[in-house]
Structures are given as structure tokens and as C-alpha cells.
Amino acid sequence: MSNKPQQARRAFLKNLGKGTVAAGAAAAVSTQAFAAPTSPAESKKASGYQESEHVRNYYATLRG
């Protein structure tokens, strides 16, 4: 039994892994390139917990 089929299989799997990483990196870069730029005020406003009317209604249903 020769090692040639095993080596070919290992090379294939290694290249498949490299291709997956490259595709993921390309997808991440393309998403960042087309993301809408936000000002610091907008990003600060949108981040964190925001209690809205919907959330207050949900809390009211929990109280009984």
C-alpha cells in the first residue's frame, strides 16, 4: 500500500481549509467596505440597552 493516496487526500483537505478561511476573510472585508459610515453620536445612540414602549409593555405583562 502506498502513501500517495493519503498524501493527496491530506493536501486536498489542507487546501479546502485554506479556501474556506480565504472566503470568510473576503466576505468580512466586503461587508465592511459596503457598511454605511456612522458618526460617533449615531453609534453611541444605537448601542446598549434601550427601553422602548414595546419593552415597557412586556415588563407590564410580567408584573401581572
Note down the domain range covering 59: 4-63
8-63 pLDDT, tens digit per residue, is 888 888 887 787 877 777 777 766 556 665 666 666 666 678 889 999 999 999 98
Residues sharing a CB contact under 8 Å with residue 13, sequence separation 6 or more, in sequence order: none
Domain count, the chain: 1
Confidence check: pLDDT of 64 > 70 = yes
Does the predicted model carry a pTM greater than 0.75?
no
Rg of the chain in Å (alpha carbons): 25
21, three cell numbers: 478561511
Place of cell 414595546: 54
What's the pLDDT at 40? 65
Give the per-residue pLDDT at 4: 77
Q: Is the dihedral of CA 53, 57, 62, 63 positive or negative?
A: positive
Q: How many CB atoms lie within 10 A of CB 29?
A: 10
